[in-house]
């Protein structure tokens, strides 16, 4: 446990699992309740829409979504833009499309690493032979 600056209001507070000072945390619970009510009445909505309707800052809404709050009956109801292409998504950080191209990129990087490794292996063998001469 340490003392931290609250990311919301900047005040010092004793660190706790919510990551906010007690006042901001209490405020967030109020927001959470407001948003929950809105979702129950209106169904799925985007972060932008929720912000317009409830006045809660988008940053706060996103933080609540990412910490797994704001679920209605265990279902994610708020869409927010994909980190990569901006398409609305309901969970994770990127949409399924970007997710699959991302996995592909990662695989390509690994393949390059393999090539790099065997090239180095080749070089090492070459220099060893060189030394024997
Ligand atoms: Zn605070
Ligand atoms: Zn995307």
Reported as a single tens digit per residue, the pLDDT across 81-97 is 999 999 999 988 899 99
Ligand 2 centre and the CA of 2: distance in Å? 38
Ligand 1 centre and the CA of 60: distance in Å? 12
Ligand 2 centre and the CA of 24: distance in Å? 32
pLDDT at 39: 95
Q: How confident is the model at residue 104 (pLDDT cuts 50, 70, 90)?
A: confident
Ligand 2 centre and the CA of 91: distance in Å? 12
Ligand 1 centre and the CA of 125: distance in Å? 61
Residue 20's Cβ-count burial label (10 Å; 0-12, 13-18, 19+) is buried
* Cα 27 to Cα 9: distance, rounded to the nearest angstrom: 11
Ligand 2 centre and the CA of 72: distance in Å? 24
* Cα 8 to Cα 63: distance, rounded to the nearest angstrom: 11
pLDDT at 29: 93
Q: Check pLDDT > 70 for residue 25.
A: yes
Mean pLDDT of 3-12: 94
**Which residue ranges make up each domain of the chain?**
1-93, 95-133
Reported as a single tens digit per residue, the pLDDT across 65-84 is 888 888 888 888 999 999 99
Mean pLDDT across the chain: 86
Ligand 2 centre and the CA of 52: distance in Å? 24
The number of residues making up the chain comes to 133
Reported as a single tens digit per residue, the pLDDT across 37-55 is 999 999 999 999 999 999 9
């Amino acid at each position: 446990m340490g003392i931290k600056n609250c990311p919301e209001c900047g005040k010092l507070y004793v660190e706790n699992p919510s990551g906010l000072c007690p006042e901001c945390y209490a405020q967030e619970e109020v927001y959470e309740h407001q948003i929950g009510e809105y979702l129950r009445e209106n169904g799925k909505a985007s972060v932008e829409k929720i912000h317009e309707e409830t006045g809660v800052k988008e940053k706060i809404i996103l933080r609540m979504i990412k910490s797994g709050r704001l679920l209605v009956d265990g279902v994610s109801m708020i869409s927010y833009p994909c980190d990569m292409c901006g398409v609305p998504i309901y969970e994770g950080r990127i949409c399924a499309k970007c997710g699959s191209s991302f996995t592909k990129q990662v695989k390509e990087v690994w393949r390059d690493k393999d090539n790099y490794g065997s090239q180095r292996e080749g070089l090492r063998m070459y220099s060893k032979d060189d030394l024997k001469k």
